[in-house]
Structure 1
Amino acid sequence: MKNNEGKSVDKSRIVPVSIIFVVLCGLSFYMGVLFGSENDRFASIISQRTIAFRKESSSSISSLKINDTSFPECSIDYQDFTPCTDPMRWKKYGSYRYIMLERHCPPIFERKKCLVPPPDGYKPPIRWPKSRDECWYRNVPFDWINEQKSNQHWLRKEGEKFFFPGGGTMFPNGVGKYVDLMEDLIPEMKDGTIRTAIDTGCGVASWGGDLLDRGILTVSLAPRDNHQAQVQFALERGLPAILGVLALHRLPFPSNSFDMAHCSRCLIPWTDFGGVYLLEIHRILRPGGFWVLSGPPINYERRWRGWDTTIEEQKSNFEKLQELLTSLCFELYNKKGDIAVWQKSRDSVCYKNRTKDAYPPKCDDSLEADSACGSALSFKNDNSKWKKHITHYKKLIPELGTDKIRNVMDMNTLYGGFAAALIDDPVWVMNVVSSYAPNTLPVIYDRGLIGTFHDWCEAFSTYPRTYDLLHLAGLFTAESHRCEMKYVLLEMDRILRPDGYAIIRESSYFLDALTTIAKGIRWECRKEDTEQGGDAEKILICKKKLWYSSIKVSR
């Protein structure tokens, strides 16, 4: 071999250099392994000492203390106050696409820091299952709906009560007959294939109430309004419901969550604005899920005269609807009388066959996956844990598991274990996943439970006095840095019924402060040990007292 100058290179010198190089590499690898293992061992020692220090110091750290506080009463005209859907603030927003009916939470300086009173004459709600058919008039004193809907048999007032005969605009023979026809059109309603449903424009939730007896759990959805209070009637009856509207923003549910969606003359303009409302139904329906529509333009051939329209207009509306549904990969599944059923495609074949310029376009897969994961072991551990917790809770609150508690909320759930452990009790549970926590809500729906996303620094989408029991575990530990605890407890007081309970499972650090705030909102509380005992975590059992407003001044 020659170098660049043409001179020969001594090959004997190359061998020792190569050997030295290999030896150095081996030595380097050995030293790396040696010191790496030492570092791991050192890190393990440090970690163990840190954990030990935390355990030692956690018992010595004093709990959070705050000054005694009290909150004034709101005036009586706040009895149905819904802070984020307040009709008094509608004038700030336009009516385009119903934007004024969406959530518009007031800024911090406009928040009310007062206790929402019940109506004069309020009584403890009628117990389940009797409550499905009747409720106290003074608890939801809305005469307008009784006067305007009396011919449709939504409800009727007799003495001190409202009665719910199961009627509706599209239920002339009662909701039972209506659902019987649906079952004939959709056999999957009978075999457990359909477990969760959503009713858009729910009326007084008679449809959802009937489905309970058929093993289908329904979320009844309607916007806040000045007169009808549909969601409040539903919850007073002991039926799952939430304030919401199909408008500019997505509904607070994950993709692919419901087995069936229903609209019974809900007056939603499905084909307007490029079909955006049907796009939202498509998003929340599972593959193979069903969309049920009754009312215009279904059965227009017979019904058009009663709709103040023409047969040509209704025929055109039906054709537009069918064209839009086809473009969304829905197929007409069945149709009879006033009911039509479409099924969302079960697989991706339809979507793959769509042209690039097809409307509406396919979403980018990166936009929203609504993904959540959990191993079989984590579910098993979660179920086992919550069964033990519920057994303990029933010792602390004997009413839990009886007809005295019907509407329940788990305010910061993970997999819905609390709700699953109550599945055999006469309750339904609204599972709430924090907007700032891992997205596990799809898992909850996969388990056949219901729930919603929510940020507890804002008011929940419901009327006052709608839940018998509120449960939270570790909410303040996780999110107390985001807003003051008093706002969360004031909201809990708003949505909790008089004589209702709150179970607050928290780090001992927060218990004294929470007890102080609870006293300021007129709750009676007591501290209890957890199942394991110890001082790191405690349970605060609180009961809301019934009181009536002494302030009659209007806002």
Structure 2
Amino acid sequence: GPPSMPRRRCAEGTPARSALLTFKLMLPLLVLGGVAQARATVVGAGLVLDFTYTPYCDDVDELPAFRADEGYAALFEVIAPYRSLCRVPVPEGYTKRPAWPSCLFTLPKANIPKAQVWESESIKADQSWLKVEPESVVLPRDGGSMSARKFLEMLPEEVDLSAVRTVLDEGAGVCGLGAELMMRSPRSQVVLSYAPHDTHTNQVQLCLERGVPAIIFSMARYQFPVPPASFDMVTCKWCWHWIGASSVGSWFLEVDRVLREGGYFVMYASVWHSYNFRDQVETWSAHLGWRRIKGTAKDMAIWKKPDVVAMNTGSFLPCPQWEQEQPSFRRFHVPCRHMGPSRAEPMSEHQDMVGLDRDYVQELLTLMPEAQSFTNVLDANSMLGTFGQAIRGALPNAWTLNVQHVKSQEYHHISPNASDGKLKGNYAAMSNYAKSVGRDGLPSVFAEGQVGIYHDWCYMFPAYPRSFDIVHVRHVEVAHSNCFHTAVLEMDRLLRPGGYIVLTGRGLSKKVNPTVAAQLGWVPAQGTEHVVSVAQVYRKMGGTFE
């Protein structure tokens, strides 16, 4: 980055006077929600962003507000709540990934600095998940204790994979299942995977670097941030160990909520016959009315959710309407069963917007000569998902993680502890609720065979740095004015060097001008003058992209 931006060195003596002054200036704003730096000013009715003095974070891979030694891991395998006041630096030697599908199995070592630690010190080090070579990281197609290819071969004929478009893979590790399915049918199936940030470290980063959709999450404790009936299949391959005996019921209710009527739930684990796990699972599946599919292999169990869900009033209470709103990342499970309609149909205006976005995307891609090699796209406010649909038609191997922008009903505060400087807060209180900013288009996104999540841009996004080739920002209206800094820093963190950010419409896009872009190390895309009336398009520099 620009040399004027100092690197934060919290562990090395006394901070520089300028850094200390910056902290004092922004302390009142930090308590109100994590503003990026203190040099924002109000001109007229608008907020002017300035990242000139924003320091760099200590670690190229760490989540800026997540430290295992600060106690977050006890409750937040999901994501730490607030954004630290720093930019994530680019690893030395960061470079372009191989083209699809080679990127699924071989990655530049410089792009994943912690892979060596993951290979040598993780409890999975002896399971051949990955191999670190001098210049690359290799992820064998048949690696791990149960390869994805073998797992799929074990499915009985009754499981009709041709009818499966969206899959949720729980506790996905390095996303072998997502890689296998999307390599077989990149345009017809998409797998959204998740794994916690725990002792297995940065598994989700490996997933995204491979080109597979994934987020940091733990569904054992929290509701998954998607609409009901979103997935055709939910898989749990070796995910039992983080569920816990006391969480089986709430976890099963959440699987039931996100699985569409007629969808499949597939579980594989050698503990299927032990720890009283099987009894609990079969009890809950029976109460939910799921049908067990016969003829499965040893250690595998498959259920089909009925096409019409009947409420067993002796077992569950239906969720009230207010309990069926969009979940957020810190919303805990609720002891009720969702009884809403099945998967929604695309909204009536969807087709009109598809045509408009198809032309819009084609024009944008003329500014991105490398776009044919891109795989990971983030739409920060997807509305009906038509931008992602246009991307899927234009780029052969790309998928879009669609974000339905929401506003949390409760805006929780944290404050520094004066004695040790660490951020403290009432984390147990963060079971907040969320409401869509504008019309909720995420049901339409899943109806079209895409994936997405609900997210409030005042919070950190549940992914590691350098996750996306394109970040599309259209009409993003943040809930609080001091969240503009947080949102811009998050999008910079999520964007890969060599990738592009597109800013258009009202809200956040109006706050980023060429001066702000230059402070962040973004340069105008070549030929931008031809579409300046439509959008601002910048390319992020860093690593070998200079």
Same fold (TM over 0.5): yes
Whether the 8 Å CA contact 1:119–1:139 is kept in 2: the answer is: yes
Q: CA deviation at 1:206?
A: 0.6
Q: Which has the higher helix share?
A: 1
Please show how residues 489-504 of structure 1 align to structure 2 within 5 Å. Answer: 489-504=488-503
1:322-359 CA deviation, whole Å, 9 max, x = no partner? 1111112212123222321011121134x2xx2x442x
Using a 3 Å threshold, how does the CA distance of structure 1 residues 186 and 86 change in structure 2: closer, same or farther?
Answer: farther
| Aligned AA (2:132) | K
Which of 195, 214, 229 is the aligned partner of 2:202?
Answer: 229
Which of 241, 250, 254 is the aligned partner of 1:276?
Answer: 250
- Give the secondary-structure state (helix, strand or coil) at the position aligned to 2:392: coil
- Give the secondary-structure state (helix, strand or coil) at the position aligned to 2:513: helix
Whether the 8 Å CA contact 2:475–2:508 is kept in 1: the answer is: no
Whether the 8 Å CA contact 1:415–1:441 is kept in 2: the answer is: yes
Residue 361 of structure 1 is matched in structure 2 by 317
What is the CA–CA distance in structure 2 between the aligned matches of 1:336 and 1:65, rounded to whole Å? 60
Q: CA deviation at 1:105?
A: 1.3
Matched, 1:209 2:179: yes
Using a 3 Å threshold, how does the CA distance of structure 1 residues 325 and 392 change in structure 2: closer, same or farther?
Answer: same
Using a 3 Å threshold, how does the CA distance of structure 1 residues 393 and 369 change in structure 2: closer, same or farther?
Answer: same
- Give the secondary-structure state (helix, strand or coil) at the position aligned to 2:349: helix
Q: Decide which structure has the larger Cα Rg and report it.
A: 1
What is the CA–CA distance in structure 1 between the aligned matches of 2:45 and 2:534, rounded to whole Å? 12
Which of 127, 136, 139 is the aligned partner of 1:161?
Answer: 136
What is the CA–CA distance in structure 1 between the aligned matches of 2:507 and 2:115, rounded to whole Å? 44
Whether the 8 Å CA contact 1:170–1:265 is kept in 2: the answer is: no
Residue 90 of structure 2 is matched in structure 1 by 118
Q: CA deviation at 1:87?
A: 2.5
Whether the 8 Å CA contact 1:511–1:538 is kept in 2: the answer is: no
Which of 269, 290, 294 is the aligned partner of 2:264?
Answer: 290
- Give the secondary-structure state (helix, strand or coil) at the position aligned to 2:518: helix
Please show how residues 262-411 of structure 1 align to structure 2 within 5 Å. Answer: 262-266=235-239, 267-269=241-243, 271-273=245-247, 275-298=249-272, 300=273, 313-314=274-275, 316-334=276-294, 335-349=296-310, 351=311, 354=312, 356-358=313-315, 360-364=316-320, 367-368=323-324, 377-400=348-371, 402-403=372-373, 405-411=374-380
What is the CA–CA distance in structure 1 between the aligned matches of 2:465 and 2:509, rounded to whole Å? 26
Matched, 1:255 2:256: no
Which of 216, 228, 242 is the aligned partner of 2:215?
Answer: 242
Q: CA deviation at 1:102?
A: 3.1
Using a 3 Å threshold, how does the CA distance of structure 1 residues 508 and 294 change in structure 2: closer, same or farther?
Answer: closer
Matched, 1:488 2:487: yes
Residue 74 of structure 1 is matched in structure 2 by 56
Using a 3 Å threshold, how does the CA distance of structure 1 residues 445 and 65 change in structure 2: closer, same or farther?
Answer: closer
What is the CA–CA distance in structure 1 between the aligned matches of 2:523 and 2:345, rounded to whole Å? 38
Aligned identity (percent) is 25
- Give the secondary-structure state (helix, strand or coil) at the position aligned to 2:118: helix
Q: CA deviation at 1:484?
A: 4.3
Q: CA deviation at 1:513?
A: 4.5
Residue 538 of structure 2 is matched in structure 1 by 542
What is the CA–CA distance in structure 1 between the aligned matches of 2:543 and 2:150, rounded to whole Å? 42
Range with bigger deviation, 265-274 or 384-393 = 265-274
Whether the 8 Å CA contact 1:196–1:217 is kept in 2: the answer is: yes
1:399-437 CA deviation, whole Å, 9 max, x = no partner? 33x11x221111101111011112232211100010132
Using a 3 Å threshold, how does the CA distance of structure 1 residues 343 and 377 change in structure 2: closer, same or farther?
Answer: closer
- Give the secondary-structure state (helix, strand or coil) at the position aligned to 1:479: coil
Residue 35 of structure 1 is matched in structure 2 by none
Whether the 8 Å CA contact 1:234–1:241 is kept in 2: the answer is: yes
1:377-408 CA deviation, whole Å, 9 max, x = no partner? 401211111111112112232333x11x2211
Q: CA deviation at 1:227?
A: 4.4
What is the CA–CA distance in structure 1 between the aligned matches of 2:356 and 2:285, rounded to whole Å? 44
Q: CA deviation at 1:528?
A: 4.4
1:28-55 CA deviation, whole Å, 9 max, x = no partner? xxxxxxxxxxxxxxxxxxxxxxxxxxxx
What is the CA–CA distance in structure 2 between the aligned matches of 1:118 and 1:386, rounded to whole Å? 32
Whether the 8 Å CA contact 1:87–1:226 is kept in 2: the answer is: no
Whether the 8 Å CA contact 2:227–2:258 is kept in 1: the answer is: yes
| Aligned AA (1:114) | C
Whether the 8 Å CA contact 1:85–1:224 is kept in 2: the answer is: no
Using a 3 Å threshold, how does the CA distance of structure 1 residues 377 and 200 change in structure 2: closer, same or farther?
Answer: closer
What is the CA–CA distance in structure 2 between the aligned matches of 1:322 and 1:227, rounded to whole Å? 29
What is the CA–CA distance in structure 2 between the aligned matches of 1:247 and 1:410, rounded to whole Å? 27
Residues matched between the structures, number: 446
What is the CA–CA distance in structure 2 between the aligned matches of 1:508 and 1:492, rounded to whole Å? 14
Whether the 8 Å CA contact 1:222–1:244 is kept in 2: the answer is: yes
Give the ranges of 4+ consecutive aligned residues of structure 1 lying more than 4 Å apart after TM superposition: 62-65, 369-377, 507-513, 526-531
What is the CA–CA distance in structure 2 between the aligned matches of 1:286 and 1:508, rounded to whole Å? 34
Using a 3 Å threshold, how does the CA distance of structure 1 residues 181 and 67 change in structure 2: closer, same or farther?
Answer: closer
Unpaired runs of 5+ in structure 1?
A: 1-61, 301-312, 549-555
Q: CA deviation at 1:70?
A: 0.9
What is the CA–CA distance in structure 2 between the aligned matches of 1:256 and 1:456, rounded to whole Å? 24
Matched, 1:102 2:78: yes
Computed over aligned residues only, the root mean square deviation of the Cα atoms, in angstroms, reads 2.9
What is the CA–CA distance in structure 2 between the aligned matches of 1:374 and 1:518, rounded to whole Å? 39
What is the CA–CA distance in structure 2 between the aligned matches of 1:226 and 1:348, rounded to whole Å? 38
Whether the 8 Å CA contact 1:489–1:517 is kept in 2: the answer is: no
Q: CA deviation at 1:200?
A: 0.8
Unpaired runs of 5+ in structure 2?
A: 1-43, 327-340, 408-436
- Give the secondary-structure state (helix, strand or coil) at the position aligned to 2:219: coil
